[in-house]
Amino acid sequence: MSKLQIVIALYPGVTHLDFTGPHQVLSRLPNAEVVVASSGGRDIEAEGLTFTRLADLAAVGRCDVLCVPGGLGTTDAMLDEAFMAQISRLGAQAKYLTSVCTGSLILAAAGFLRGKRAACHWAWRDLLVPFGAIVDDSRVARDGNIITGGGVTAGLDFAFVLMAELAGETLAKSVQLGLEYAPSPPFASGRPELASPEILAAVKARMEPFAQSRLDAVKQVAARLETAR
């Protein structure tokens, strides 16, 4: 029996926990191959870590599951026509389309989320709307064959949901136990509705310098998609 092919597509400026968390979980799937790929197989630097010996995205013939992580580089990735061509190619034949954090914006930019519910990092989820997606503020959202996780750490929850879908709850629960995934955060500050107004304002201020360029990219790509319809 052929192995289940899971492809995680990386790009410059990706957030490493967006994909290393899910990779840790999904690498424990039996009869599955998790391929981490980038354009040209180039090394990817992510917040001080360099990921090397990656597969060439264009050389990946097919996949059963396409997973796109997020990060500050999402904006440039959406505008990278060569990268987006590979996302479109692989996604068109994948059984499952998945993402973590702002990776859902990339799926949306490829035209996969029109009329679909999708999750995203809380600060950027409204940018799904220009692509015709339905914003879902859940930690993990599912709409048919599309499974999307919220911001960064939600990638772990997403991975267990996907594992249960692919191989059943018993395996997912066993892997969860093996990884001792029993989150108990030291602070109730992990979502905007839980954080204090001061903390929320400070985090929003740190994100503000990226907001306009990301909005401009979303409008540009959304207009391109609308013209192509």
Report pLDDT digits (tens) over 91-128. 999 999 999 999 999 999 999 999 999 999 999 999 99
Taken in order 105, 106, 107, 108, the sign of the CA dihedral is: positive
Question: Are the C-beta atoms of 147 and 140 separated by less than 8 Å?
Answer: yes
Helix (H, G, I), strand (E, B) or coil at 110: coil
DSSP string, 11-27: -TT--HHHHHHHHHHHT
Please tell me the predicted confidence (pLDDT) of residue 15. 98
Please tell me the predicted confidence (pLDDT) of residue 1. 60
User: Would you please indicate which residues are annotated as catalytic (active-site) residues?
Assistant: 101
Question: What's the CA gap between 48 and 25, in Å, rounded?
Answer: 23
* Mean pLDDT computed over 132-140: 98
Nearest CA among 140, 38, 122 for reference residue 86: 38
Amino acid at 57: L
CA distances from residue 155 to 67, 169, 207, 225 in whole angstroms, order as listed: 10, 17, 20, 27
pLDDT, one tens digit per residue, over 153-187 is 999 999 999 999 999 999 999 999 999 999 999 99
What does the chain come to in residues?
229
Question: What's the CA gap between 58 and 82, in Å, rounded?
Answer: 9
List all residues 6 or more positions away from 145 whose beta carbon is below 8 Å from its beta carbon: 94, 95, 96, 97
Percent of the chain beyond pLDDT 90? 97
pTM score of the predicted model: 0.97
HSE-up of residue 91 (Cα within 13 Å, Cβ side): 26
Mean pLDDT of the chain: 97
Please tell me the predicted confidence (pLDDT) of residue 167. 97
